[in-house]
């Protein structure tokens, strides 16, 4: 096994398909270059031992070739900051060892394939800043060790699947700038949450008191929704909270006295 590390250079043109002849390649790191064109299927798909694929911050385009899932040992895929288009392949489910998937800042469209929920080793999903539509698949509730779920700046909509309540290890969730509605309760299943950003959606109903179980929360952003009722006193249990944004909702009542326990709070928006 060996690694090919050519990142942080000024390499141009396309990724040569001849790289597919490097049968013992474990890491392919070409990030932060000036590479263009598509990933050629006859090449990378033959790398059966490939574990880490880092192509981020280039000018690559086209789609994710279906043949890429033939790299059955892939654990990390990072294509951030390119010009990839088309939909995400449903065959990603075949990457049973995949733990890290970063496709943000591209031009992917269509729905998130439910089959992604069968990659049960996933810890990080970052699909932000694309053109994805539809809803969050119910199958995401099967990703029991998922820690980061980043989906902001897409065209996703609808109710949050109730199955998300099973994600007990979430630490960072950002679903801002979408068209989600209904209750936020499905995101209250993890006591490990550190950052929760649901800004600029259409969530309604009350802020669930169960959110107070996430005592390690540091940033809680629920602004620009349609939440109503009182601010739950259980937020006072978040002793590390330094940002609380509840602005532009339909909240009523008074500020709970328990908020005085949040001595780290540096920014409070509730207008």
Mean pLDDT in residue range 228-233: 96
> Is the predicted pLDDT of residue 244 greater than 90, yes or no?
yes
Per-residue pLDDT band at 167 (split at 50, 70, 90): very high
Cα–Cα–Cα angle for 164, 110, 196, nearest 5°?
35
Note the pLDDT of residue 46.
Answer: 86
Q: Which of 245, 177, 257, 169 is nearest to 214 (CA)?
A: 169
Mean pLDDT of the chain: 95
Note the pLDDT of residue 110.
Answer: 97
Note the pLDDT of residue 131.
Answer: 97
Residue 163 dihedral angles phi and psi, to the nearest 5°: -60, -20
Kindly state the percentage of the chain with pLDDT values over 70: 98
- Residue 127: in which H helix or E strand, if any? none
Is residue 126 a contact partner of residue 148, using CB atoms and an 8 Å limit?
A: yes
Of the listed ranges 65-69, 150-154, 250-254, the least confidently predicted one is 65-69
Q: How far apart are CA 232 and CA 184, in angstroms?
A: 14
Instruction: Estimate the share of the chain in helix, then strand, then coil, as percent rounded to the nearest 5.
Output: 20, 25, 55
| Both tokens assigned to 159 | 């109710």
- For the chain, which residues make up each domain, given as ranges? 2-223
Q: How far apart are CA 146 and CA 142, in angstroms?
A: 9
Q: How far apart are CA 186 and CA 164, in angstroms?
A: 5
Per-residue pLDDT band at 125 (split at 50, 70, 90): very high
Note the pLDDT of residue 271.
Answer: 55
Greatest CA separation for the chain: 67
Fold of 2-223: 3.80.10
> Is the predicted pLDDT of residue 180 greater than 80, yes or no?
yes
Per-residue pLDDT band at 268 (split at 50, 70, 90): confident
Note the pLDDT of residue 17.
Answer: 85
Is residue 211 a contact partner of residue 186, using CB atoms and an 8 Å limit?
A: no
Residue 243 dihedral angles phi and psi, to the nearest 5°: -140, 125
Residues 49-58 pLDDT 10s: 999 999 999 9
Residues 60-86 pLDDT 10s: 999 998 888 999 999 999 999 999 999
What 3-state class would DSSP assign to 176? Answer: coil
Q: How far apart are CA 240 and CA 217, in angstroms?
A: 6
Note the pLDDT of residue 40.
Answer: 75
Count other C-beta atoms under 10 Å from residue 23's C-beta: 10
Give the contacts of 91 (CB within 8 A, at least 6 positions apart).
66, 69, 115
In this structure, the strands spanning 243-245 and 267-269 are parallel
Give the contacts of 201 (CB within 8 A, at least 6 positions apart).
175, 176, 177, 178, 179, 180, 181, 224, 225
Q: Which of 52, 45, 55, 56 is nearest to 17 (CA)?
A: 45
Of the listed ranges 38-42, 246-250, 251-255, the least confidently predicted one is 38-42
- Residue 41: in which H helix or E strand, if any? helix 41-44
What is the reported pTM? 0.96
Mean pLDDT in residue range 248-267: 92
């Amino acid at each position: 096994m060996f690694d090919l590390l050519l990142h942080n250079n000024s390499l141009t043109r396309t990724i040569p398909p001849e790289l597919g002849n490097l049968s013992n390649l474990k890491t392919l790191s070409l990030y932060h270059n000036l590479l263009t064109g598509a990933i050629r299927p006859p090449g990378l798909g033959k790398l059966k031992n490939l574990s880490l694929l880092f192509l981020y911050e280039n000018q690559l385009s086209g789609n994710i070739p279906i043949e890429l899932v033939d790299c059955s040992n892939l654990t990390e895929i990072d294509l951030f900051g390119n010009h990839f288009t088309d939909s995400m392949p449903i065959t990603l489910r075949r990457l049973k060892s995949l733990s890290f998937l970063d496709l943000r800042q591209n031009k992917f469209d269509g729905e998130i394939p439910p089959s992604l929920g069968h990659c049960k080793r996933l810890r990080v999903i970052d699909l932000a800043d694309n053109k994805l539509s539809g809803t969050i698949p119910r199958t995401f509730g099967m990703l029991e060790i998922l820690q980061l779920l980043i989906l902001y700046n897409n065209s996703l909509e609808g109710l949050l699947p109730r199955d998300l309540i099973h994600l007990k290890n979430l630490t960072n969730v950002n679903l801002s700038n979408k068209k989600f509605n209904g209750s936020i309760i499905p995101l209250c299943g993890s006591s490990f949450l550190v950052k929760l950003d649901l800004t600029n959606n259409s969530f309604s109903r009350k802020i669930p008191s169960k959110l107070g179980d996430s005592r390690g929360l540091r940033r809680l952003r629920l602004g620009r929704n349609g939440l109503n009722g009182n601010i739950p006193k259980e937020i006072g249990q978040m002793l590390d909270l330094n940002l609380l944004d509840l602005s532009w909702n339909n909240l009523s009542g008074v500020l709970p006295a328990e908020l005085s326990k949040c001595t780290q709070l540096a920014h409070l928006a509730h207008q």
